[in-house]
Structure 1
Amino acid sequence: MGRVQGKVALITGAARGQGRSHAVRLAEEGADVVVTDVCHDISDELPYRLASKDQLEETAQLVRATGRRCVALRADVRSIAEVRAAVDAARAEFGRLDVVVANAGVMSSGSAWELSEEVWDVVVDVNLKGAWNTARAAIPWMIEAGEGGSIVMISSAAGIRGHVPYAHYVAAKHGVVGLMKALSNELAPHRIRVNTVHPTGVSDTGITVGVPVEELAAREPLFALAAMNPLAPYVEPRDVSNAVLFLASDEARYVTGLQFTVDAGSTNKP
């Protein structure tokens, strides 16, 4: 029996990278999955293309290849209505929702005083408001069901340290930690656990796929920091997914309010 056998998980930002990995890893361990992604570009201020509808469907196919069921929906986490539609889909298709992974995120770089208002808003809205929307869409039904559950919010090493030049991203990911801490206390009486996961630079995402670490380090300051990690230049999506799996499983039944680092020791370095 898998570690999340019979559970149902909702994962945002799942068309590629970490989100896809989380979906497949949970399915491998017995979960049925609802996956969402925005599936179109949302700002010219972001330095890379966002995932496509075809990539989201590929994630769904990879989940189904494990033998588990999957529903794939386009949803912008900045829209509470669209996230609630995904929660409703879980309820209609599977009759329950046990695990929520607020994974959707975007990033860019730039000195704090030079960032445009647009890029500040899009980074904070997707990373922080999106996590809040995902939680508030799911929580009422999870409370009503009375079965407890697990909410995992993907923060970052930048949610612990003040990486530069990413003030908007750092602010948003620190905000995710504050949201997690508040929710973990609010939801404890309902046996709903809330935790954050903090990766360092992650390979095979929309930003990093197929790019050598040396080029990443030259192109993005965050990966220059990652290259100095004591254990690895950056981590693999599956490494992060294993942390998500643990927090989603009953093995973590008494784990809440935790900042779980998967960062090759980067946040511990002086």
Structure 2
Amino acid sequence: MTRYNLAGRTVAITGSTGGLGSAVAQALRERGANLALLDLDAHAVSQQAVQLGGQNVARGWAADVRHIDTLQAALDGATEHFGRLDVVIANAGIDTMAPMAKLDPEAFDRVIDINLKGVWRTFRAALPHVQEQRGHLLAISSMAAFCHSPLQASYTASKAGVWAMCNSIRLEIRHLGVTVGSVHPTFFKTPLMDHVVADPAGNTLWGGNQTGIFKFIDIKSVVKGIVTGIERRKPMVVVPKSHTIVAKAPGLARPIIDRIGFRGSTIPDAIAQSSRTGWNKP
């Protein structure tokens, strides 16, 4: 496959000031990409933009993935500022560490709202701009999409949902020339994982992620996987690659179903007949 050259393209990242977001942003700048940095704290993203080279190549916008109007304003602004929007990375995410019997319902809802619905809102707001460039949408999921741990029902459900949602959206927009990918790393050290390790329940569950199958991998390998995934427009990125068989096993039949189940113009025809409310009720 021809390499999707990132030089001169504009990439938007939600959760840009977090551990993974910051590392990915730096790697993309090194590839020559212009960056639209989206996060909750306007001052933090402005400072991040300065550190990455200033407004000609990086600019920050305050945006909350729980509110699509803030995402729309930020992505519209980014497109106007840079003249184009090619790639959008839905990276914002949170976690919890408690069983269903203890977890506050509001905490469960917040994880789903940010991790799952936030990806949908990000893609929804970005699509009109990315479509013009026949670009790429990328969501940060997890190996938790396939390996479902206890005390993390909200997190595993959200990450499995992101994987499934990306597979659905990929079919919806493939005729537009827009590609969709999901990223599935195992554990790697970030401020989010620092909270997990510091939490007594999380430390008991994962053993501090120092040894065994739950041992941390280097964040550099995750960043490399993400950048390579964009450059090759991959539908799925698994880090490390040794976990690929675990990740792909649940969806072995999906490419066949995608190919033979929705032939020709079936999907565009169905889209043309659909309603904004989700149903055309008699």
What is the match of residue 251 of structure 2?
none
Query: Deviations along 1:199-233, whole A, 9 cap, x unmatched?
Result: 12221334429x9x7x6897435643844445x82
CA distance in 2, matches of 1:227, 1:29: 32
What is the match of residue 151 of structure 2?
165
Of residues 230, 249, 254, the one that matches 1:248 is 230
- Higher gyration radius (CA): 2
Give the number of the structure with larger relative contact order, counting CA–CA contacts within 8 Å between residues 6 or more apart. 1
CA distance in 2, matches of 1:266, 1:224: 20
What is the match of residue 182 of structure 2?
196
Q: Which has the higher helix share?
A: 2
CA distance in 2, matches of 1:206, 1:20: 13
Of residues 7, 10, 23, the one that matches 1:8 is 10
Normalization by structure 2: what TM-score?
Answer: 0.77
SS of the residue corresponding to residue 208 of structure 1 reads helix
Paired residues of 2:86 and 2:129 also in contact (CA < 8 A) = no
Paired residues of 2:97 and 2:201 also in contact (CA < 8 A) = no
Paired residues of 2:87 and 2:130 also in contact (CA < 8 A) = no
Instruction: Map residues 66-215 of structure 1 onto 2, 5 A cutoff.
Output: 69-143=57-131, 145=132, 147-208=133-194
CA distance in 2, matches of 1:14, 1:243: 17
Residues 167/222 of structure 1: CA separation in 2 closer, same or farther (3 Å cut): same
What is the match of residue 34 of structure 2?
32
CA distance in 1, matches of 2:64, 2:140: 16
Q: Deviation of residue 6 (structure 1)?
A: 1.0
Paired residues of 1:157 and 1:267 also in contact (CA < 8 A) = no
Query: Deviations along 1:83-132, whole A, 9 cap, x unmatched?
Result: 10111111110111111100000011111232111101110000001000
Q: Deviation of residue 268 (structure 1)?
A: 5.9
Q: Deviation of residue 142 (structure 1)?
A: 2.2
CA distance in 2, matches of 1:183, 1:222: 34
Residues 3/235 of structure 1: CA separation in 2 closer, same or farther (3 Å cut): farther
**Matched residues, number:** 243
CA distance in 2, matches of 1:229, 1:152: 29
Gaps of 5+ in 2: 247-282
Q: Deviation of residue 264 (structure 1)?
A: 7.2
Query: Deviations along 1:4-44, whole A, 9 cap, x unmatched?
Result: 101100000011200111111111101000011123xxxxx
Paired residues of 1:229 and 1:264 also in contact (CA < 8 A) = no
Paired residues of 1:30 and 1:68 also in contact (CA < 8 A) = no
Residues 158/265 of structure 1: CA separation in 2 closer, same or farther (3 Å cut): same
CA distance in 2, matches of 1:220, 1:57: 35
Of residues 203, 210, 220, the one that matches 1:220 is 203
Give the fraction of aligned pairs with identical amino acids, expressed as a percent: 30
1:60 partner amino acid: A
Gaps of 5+ in 1: 40-52
CA distance in 1, matches of 2:200, 2:99: 17
Residues 227/218 of structure 1: CA separation in 2 closer, same or farther (3 Å cut): farther
Normalization by structure 1: what TM-score?
Answer: 0.80
Q: Cα RMSD over matched residues?
A: 2.7
